[in-house]
Amino acid sequence: MRIVCPNGHLGFAPIKMGSFQAGVAAKPDLICADSGSCDIGPGPLGQDVSSSPLAWQTHDLEAMLLGTRSLGIPMIVGSAGDTGTNSRVDLYVRIIKELAAKHRLPRFRIGWFHSEVPKTLVAERMRRGESVQGLDDRPGLDDATLTATDRIVAVAGVHPYMALLDSGADVIVGGRSSDCAVFAAPALRAGYPAGLAYYFGKVLECASFCAEPYAGKESVLGEITHDDVKVTALFEGQRCTTASVAGHAMYERSNPFYEYVLGGRLDMSACVYEQYDERTCRVTGPRFEPAAELRVKLEGSGKIGERYVGFVGIRDPSTISQIDGVIAWARDQVRERFGENGYELRYSVYGRDAIMGDLEPLRNRPGHELCVVVQAIAPTSEVAEEVCMIGLRQMFYARLPVVKGTAGGVAFALDEIMPASPAYRWTLNHTMRVDDPMELFATGLTEAGI
């Protein structure tokens, strides 16, 4: 079985069409892509919006749809619209129907599944004494955290994809799901070993990220047999090497050898990587360990407040050397107006430690120019705006002991502050027991085309 993956995050940046067309020309058995990520933060899930422009999402869906329909092969998209919420699944189904009508495609079947989980369902499980266990050292879910959550999605495994393929779907739009499940599902359904099938998904999920040199949004071609997995770079400027593929297997892992999915764990500790040809890497040895208990991952987002953002640039060496004092002065002026509580005021000093914070080893050697990003978060837009304005403008008026001039030591990038998207936080990164891997994932079938 051969699968083309054209994009590691469908719609986040447009597919590069040259390597994608090479993938279509290779006549694969499926074209599949994941469209979701936690990298975008909790905001889109909480707001129930996409972080990617509609035009880019439509571009990628159109490329995949025309490619798969021209070959008469299945198309699978997982975690629709960045978050995999119900509205994003429905959006993708609607776009595909519109594209089918636009191109007058012969009639085909669209399968879909939803992944949102009502808070009431989780609350009922907790009321019955079931533990909703935290991941990555988070405590178990409590009532207060659940109440503070605006939206929850469950992360599906391979099961709804396999069910929809069994139902005859030509195109599948999935809700939130494990990245690798999008690719592992058709391989498992075709009878390939579970270890190889899940590894197949792991290596393909981010498309050209498994190749070198780095070139995002290029397509790759994966092939699975009963003995191995092979992955080939389709962009002529890239190669899938033992180093690039092994490195990608460790990508985004707290433990470089394990990938957890609903139903078990992929163990990559015994994988063997071989250079099969100039642009292809061959992998053997992955194992799949079934779980003793079915536990589904839950992702939840809760709103903190409204947000405003401002920027200042600093070139004056004296001000740079006293930047902590400048920020402290501005904070004090906010406290005079609003007190200690009821808002958040954050300063990110780019050119010193905005990226790594306290872990920055060169914190005491800032650059000759700094950019300070000021963020204010509060329950209302009016309070957030004023907190941000004070916190920004008072940097200009900071009273430093060695300053003799009156022209200020900072420059405003803009004379205004800007409303930003509301601030959200991850409230759930937990697992909940299920009896059936399909019980949280309602599926459906519809048709498109003429």
Q: How far apart are the C-alpha atoms of 222 and 3, rounded to whole Å?
A: 5
What tens digit of pLDDT does each residue of 292-351 get?
999 999 999 999 999 999 999 999 998 999 999 999 999 999 999 999 999 999 999 999
The CA–CA distances, whole Å, from 112 to 60, 61, 63, 90, 236 equal: 18, 15, 19, 8, 34
Res 406: pLDDT: 72
pLDDT at 403: 72
The pLDDT of residue 254 is 82
**pLDDT-derived band at 253, boundaries 50, 70, 90:** confident
Tokens read off for 51: 């972080």
Is residue 124 classed exposed, middle or buried when 0-12, 13-18 and 19+ CB atoms within 10 A define those classes? exposed
Amino acid type, 438: M
| Residue 133 bridge partners (DSSP) | 431
Residue 149 has pLDDT above 80, yes or no: yes
- How many Cα atoms are found within 13 Å in the side-chain-facing hemisphere of 228? 12
Please report where in the chains the tokens 């902590």 appear, as a residue: 324
Helix runs in 72-207, H state only: 86-102, 119-127, 143-147, 159-166, 181-189, 194-204
Using the 8-state DSSP alphabet, how is residue 357 labeled? Answer: G
Tokens 């391989």 found at:
187
- What is residue 67's predicted lDDT score, i.e. its pLDDT? 98
DSSP 217-229: T--EEEEE-SS-E
Which of 255, 277, 274 has its CA nearest to residue 266? 255
Joined together, the tokens standing for residue 361 give: 């080893």
What is the DSSP-derived secondary structure letter of residue 445?
E
Average pLDDT, stretch 421-429? 97
3-state DSSP assignment of residue 142: coil
pTM of the predicted model, to two decimals?
Answer: 0.94
Residue 245 and residue 273 in contact, taking contact as beta carbons nearer than 8 Å:
yes
Instruction: Using alpha carbons only, give the angle 190, 193, 194 rounded to the nearest 5 degrees.
Output: 100
For range 7-12, the mean pLDDT = 92
Residue 112 above 80 pLDDT?
yes
* Alpha carbon distance 30, 8 (integer Å): 16
Q: Which two tokens stand for residue 225?
A: 């047999």
Strand, coil or helix: what is 5?
Answer: strand
| Strand, helix or coil for residue 120 | helix
Residue 216 has pLDDT above 90, yes or no: no
Shortest CA distance to 354 belongs to which of 381, 375, 331, 335?
Answer: 375
CA distance 160 to 164: 6
Confidence class of residue 212 from pLDDT cuts 50, 70 and 90?
A: very high
Residue 251: pLDDT over 90? no
Residues forming a β-bridge with 297: 155, 431
pLDDT tens profile 19-41: 999 999 999 999 999 999 899 99
Cα 328 to Cα 190, 214, 251, 268, distances in angstroms: 63, 41, 39, 49
DSSP 205: T
Domain limits, CATH 3.30.70.600, in the chain: 303-425
Task: State the Cα–Cα distance between residues 297 and 365, nearest whole angstrom.
Answer: 42
Confidence of residue 417 (pLDDT cuts 50, 70, 90): very high
Q: Label residue 264 left, alpha or beta by phi (over 0 means left) and psi (-120 to 50 means alpha).
A: left
* Alpha helices in 353-395, H assignment, sequence order: 381-393
CB atoms within 10 A of CB 67: 21
* 433 CB-near residues (< 8 Å, 6+ apart): 125, 130, 131, 293, 294, 295
**Torsion angle (degrees, nearest 10) of CA 239, 28, 181, 86:** 120
List pLDDT tens digits, range 361-412: 999 999 999 999 999 999 999 999 999 999 999 999 988 877 777 777 899 9
CATH numeric code, 303-425? 3.30.70.600
At 398, the amino acid letter reads A
Evaluate if residue 414 carries a pLDDT over 90: no
The C-alpha torsion from 199 through 4 and 7 to 294, rounded to 10°, is -40
**CA dist., res. 370 & res. 311, Å (int):** 10
Residue 413 clears pLDDT 90, i.e. is over it: no
Rounded CA gap, 283 and 266, in Å? 14
Query: At residue 319, what is the residue type?
Result: T
Q: What pLDDT sits at residue 345? A: 98
